[in-house]
Amino acid sequence: MFITPVILEEEADYMKHDRLTKKLIQEFFEEFIEAFFPNLHPHIDFSKVTFLEQEVYLDYINGRKKEIDVLAEVKLNHQDKILHIHTEAQSTREADFPERMFLYFSYLYAKHRKPIQPIAVLSYNRKKDEPTQFKIDSPTQEVLQFNFLQLHLKKKNWREYIQSDNPAVAALLSQMGYEEHERVQVKIEFLRMITRMKINPAKMEFLYGFFETYLKLNKEEEAQMMEEIENLPEEEKEMVLHLPNSYFEKGLEEGKQEGKQEGIAEGRKEGIQKRNQEVALKLIAKGMPINEIAEITELSKEEIKNLADK
Alpha helices by DSSP H, the chain: 13-27, 29-36, 97-112, 167-172, 183-195, 201-214, 219-229, 234-241, 247-258, 261-285, 290-297, 301-309
CB neighbours of residue 286 within 10 Å: 12
d(CA 171, CA 147): 27
Specify the pairing of strand 82-90 against strand 133-137: unpaired
Could you tell me if residue 7 is left (phi over 0), alpha (psi between -120 and 50 degrees) or otherwise beta?
beta
Per-residue model confidence (pLDDT) at position 285:
81
**Residue 289: partners with Cβ closer than 8 Å, 6 or more residues away:** none
Per-residue model confidence (pLDDT) at position 246:
46
d(CA 60, CA 56): 12
Per-residue model confidence (pLDDT) at position 302:
83
Per-residue model confidence (pLDDT) at position 187:
95
Whether the CB-CB separation of 88 and 119 falls below 8 Å is answered with: yes
d(CA 134, CA 119): 13
Prediction pTM value: 0.73
CA distances for 274 relative to 205, 241, 281, 286, 297, angstroms: 13, 18, 11, 19, 10
Per-residue model confidence (pLDDT) at position 241:
81
Per-residue model confidence (pLDDT) at position 62:
63
Give per-residue pLDDT as tens, 267-279. Answer: 556 667 777 788 7
Give per-residue pLDDT as tens, 226-285. Answer: 999 988 888 888 888 877 544 344 444 544 555 455 555 555 566 677 777 887 787 788
Task: Report which of 188, 120, 110, 190 is spatially closest to residue 149, judged by C-alpha positions.
Answer: 120
Low-confidence stretches of the chain (pLDDT < 50) are 1-11, 245-252, 254-255, 259
Whether the CB-CB separation of 86 and 117 falls below 8 Å is answered with: yes
How does the average pLDDT of the chain come out, rounded? Answer: 84
